[in-house]
Structure 1
């Protein structure tokens, strides 16, 4: 609980940086989990084209989240604005994944973006209520 109290005492700008880093990690994890669920082979981690795809998609997704106002919202109370920003951000991230995969040499299976969207929605969207719940307990 001391770690959480330390997080909650951070300045607003530092909290935004933490949110961006956590969202980036979650998007990476969602991508690799979606790919692994679809391909079921751990050797996909050695494919450089997938790493390049991820390096292009994550910053585009974070910029999309920022433009949609996800990092401006007060996450203590989960409102319609935050839910809409998360949903539209995940859709934009998935579209970015499809477009970048199409123009790159990554042979991305067609179902991976759908699985990626589901995982991203759960990870990024699931963090907000959990964080608000923890905030209420501290």
Structure 2
């Protein structure tokens, strides 16, 4: 057993996120376990780049209101206590609304090469605005 009493908060890398985003790792990829989990906090308007996960991703919203959008145009508006799952290989992004912060626990299962995330281009302001309008409110 290992008891981890705290993890330092780090600013998310600007090459993968728009706006101010902060990360606290919960579990990192280490064989034989491949679970990766982090508490991620987004300030209003902040979001990830487009990305996908080789084995999918589960997002559990802990605070605020968030958006999760896929390339097919579907958008989920999620609040504290709700869970959104993104299937393996689906290109998506997630972040806060323009007026409310959002925090979630992001969970995924990595592969033999690491966390299995493929990072893509930033979400444009136009894509973000369209998601805000179409979120399943």
TM, length-normalised to structure 2: 0.24
Structure index of larger Rg: 1
TM, length-normalised to structure 1: 0.24
Structure with the higher strand share, 1 or 2:
2
Structure with the higher helix share, 1 or 2:
1
